Structure 1
């Protein structure tokens, strides 16, 4: 990948890499933890859907309807998270990702789930990987939607832990230092490349406006400063990774982007990596039927 591609990807994820949480149709909040809220829909085998940076669970509405609606076969139960500090949810102090991971493992035990499937988009996918590494008894099949184990290493695979953390600290400081006008303009530029339809872009922007800026900056720094490329070897869960490339075609061809995915996941035993051909970062908006089909086939 070129330096411009890394910058583009980092900006894309950094300001508003998205994912998901919950207020899906017919879903009612059943549990609240400091680092996230949960809404549950349906009955049957549990599926946890994890939000990403600065998003609302509305993004999973179609997924919930398909996987856990009344007409779904087999029957499943969707547990959709909404992370603290994002899209109007009250923020928490401290490391959001670390707290969310620990509390999610506790939630799975409390609900007496037997290795639920976990679906995570972007930062939510990273969190799913971390949970499966640190809490293997709580994680069933993983579906990772457009997320990497080491986003900060896309340009320089040999980057050290110290270099990653330094880069992440600089990113956090820069995001916090922006004035409102600059932040809004950067947000607009970043989100414009994440989905194809104007109405979807507008919806994503609105979630970002309702997110706490410091929470977003801190979570992004945690993501950019962490390298799970070797740690994924400890994951015992069958894993499906859905990647995208079309938004980066001006910076790198499809083969180069796919190569980054395969390189970063090469230590994960049995991982399946499938690239979407037409979708941008929000696959669930740009090519929902393709994404649903991939998930349904994998969860069988």
Structure 2
């Protein structure tokens, strides 16, 4: 199987000075293209087992982000250059009959890409992703109140390594039921560029993609975890995606945020069934 590593910059290649690339893409296989977008701090390799369990052959484009997975940081703003680089990448690669799969923050990017390329998409799959995390985590707080230079961000930047590790482990335990995956998930945060981790998360909290959903016509599969309860999760996804016309919401029982770890076979089945109908 061929594998091609592509570094993609938001700056045009014709320029002499090329900045650090916002994204890294590993291209592999043949067939209709699928872009796989991981979540915040998460390397693209989180999709390896999913790709291995696809029931048909596809050309996969697995993305990793600057500041994570050992890649050099790009500074701030962080999210927008990544989004723009992905748009440029799709245009440069001339990807048609494209399916986009995004987990968590990758789902936010998937929504942005779907809005930009809606008529060219074969499919859109969002895995435990919300178009406005701020509304769930900080109800009623306006995006304008969130700044890079804030007491909380400064505290996170200056936090000692041991304290940061403990925080990362605590967060990881709320993201998976698989104890053997906790240290790996925490390790992604620990290894991340600290400023990317802190300021990049500020970028995410500012996002509200709910209005953009009205512009997406692609039949969308939304896969959610049932943590903390199925009822709460169902209500959250229905409310957050109310503006998305063509959607199906499916929830994975006994799963936290990393559905690919907690309910992998369920995830593979959902993705393969969807692809069979939409991406052949």
- TM (norm. structure 1) is 0.81
Q: RMSD over aligned Cα, in angstroms?
A: 2.2
After superposition, what is the alpha-carbon deviation per residue over 1:92-127, rounded to whole angstroms, capped at 9, x for unaligned?
A: 122222111111111111111114101111111111
Indicate yes or no: 2:195 matched with 1:220: no
Given that 1:47 and 1:118 are in contact with CA atoms closer than 8 Å, whether structure 2 keeps it comes out as yes
Q: Which residue of 1 aligns with 2:16?
A: none
What residue is the counterpart of 1:45 in the other structure?
Answer: 32
SS at match of 2:257: coil
Residue in structure 2 matched with residue 284 of structure 1 by the alignment: 260
1:137 shift after superposition:
5.0
Match of 2:172 among 169, 185, 191: 191
Query: Between Structure 1 and Structure 2, how many residues are aligned?
Result: 264
Q: Deviations over 1:247-299 (max 9, x none)?
A: x2xxxx42122101100100011111111111211111111110011111112
Report how far residue 203 of structure 1 moved.
Answer: 1.8
Per the TM alignment, residue 55 of structure 1 is displaced from its structure 2 partner at its CA by: 1.4
The alpha-carbon deviation at position 27 of structure 1 amounts to 6.5
CA distance in 1, matches of 2:28, 2:177: 28
Contact 1:41 1:64 in 2 (8 A): no
Out of 123, 127, 140, the position equivalent to 2:105 is: 123
CA distance 1:89–1:137, shift in 2 (3 Å)? farther
Q: CA deviation at 1:233?
A: 0.9
2:236 paired residue number: 260
Cα pair 2:217 2:246 within 8 Å, conserved: no
Partner Cα distance (1:27, 1:216) in 2: 32
Deviation at 1:171, TM superposition (A): 4.9
Is residue 2:250 matched to residue 1:274?
A: yes
Aligned residue among 134, 141, 144 for 1:152: 134
The unaligned stretches of length 5 or more in structure 1 are 1-25
SS in 1 for 2:85: helix
Question: How far apart are the structure 2 equivalents of 1:172 and 1:115?
Answer: 41
**Counterpart Cα distance in 1 of 2:152 and 2:219:** 33
Question: Quick one: structure 1 residues 173 and 260, their matched pair in 2 at CA, closer, same or farther if it must change by over 3 Å?
Answer: farther
CA–CA distance in structure 1, aligned partners of residues 83 and 77 of structure 2: 10
Matched, 1:294 2:273: no
Where do 1:1-300 residues align within 5 Å?
Answer: 28-33=3-8, 34-67=21-54, 72-73=55-56, 75-137=57-119, 139-154=121-136, 158-163=140-145, 165=146, 171-246=152-227, 248=228, 253-300=229-276
- Quote the Cα distance in structure 1 between the aligned partners of 2:134 and 2:153: 13
Q: 1:170 and 1:131 mapped to 2: Cα distance? A: 33
Measured against aligned partners, the alpha-carbon deviations of 1:1-50 in whole angstroms (never above 9, x if no partner) come to: xxxxxxxxxxxxxxxxxxxxxxxxx6634311111111122110100001
> Structure 2: how far apart are the matches of 1:110 and 1:123?
23
Aligned-pair distance for 1:66?
A: 1.5
Does the CA contact (< 8 Å) of 1:27 and 1:39 recur in 2? no
| Structure 2 portions without partners, runs of 5+ | 9-20
Instruction: Please say if residues 39 and 102 of structure 2, whose CA atoms lie closer than 8 Å, have aligned partners that are also in contact.
Output: yes
